[in-house]
Amino acid sequence: MVNKQPKAPDADDKNRSSIILRDGYDTETGVPGKGCSPDNGVHFYVYFTSAGIMLHQKDAKMISNNLIFEKLRFKSPNGTAFYLSVDDDGTLKTTKVGEQIGDSAQG
């Protein structure tokens, strides 16, 4: 019987390739969609599904290392929206949406 499992390429493999935006199943979750593989299909990461964009833990690390936010907007259980920010001393600050001058609910 022939082994049909994808084989990870080594550094000398002349057939080494990445898979970019192909149909497949996420190897972590089994979710179907369009995705990519850095290692010839051994690990396949789906990023686009019929439900929308799918992010992975490694994406969260990349986002948190490369994006800086001045404020984040959160909604409380009763529907009130708040901004979470930090002052120059590193103290967390919450402000009800609409209470700051020039603020709007659009965020």
Average pLDDT for 69-89:
93
**Bigger pLDDT: 80 vs 11:** 80
Average pLDDT for 54-82:
91
Indicate if 49 and 81 belong to the same structural domain.
no
Average pLDDT for 81-101:
88
Indicate if 80 and 54 belong to the same structural domain.
no
pLDDT tens, residue by residue, 22-37: 999 999 999 999 999 9
Number of domains in the chain: 2
Indicate if 40 and 60 belong to the same structural domain.
yes
Q: What is the pLDDT of residue 75?
A: 94
Domain containing 33 equals 19-66
Q: Which residues, 6 or more positions from 49, have their beta carbon under 8 angstroms from its beta carbon?
A: 31, 32, 33
Q: What is the pLDDT of residue 40?
A: 85
Q: What share of the chain is helix, strand, coil (3-state, %, to 5)?
A: 10, 35, 60
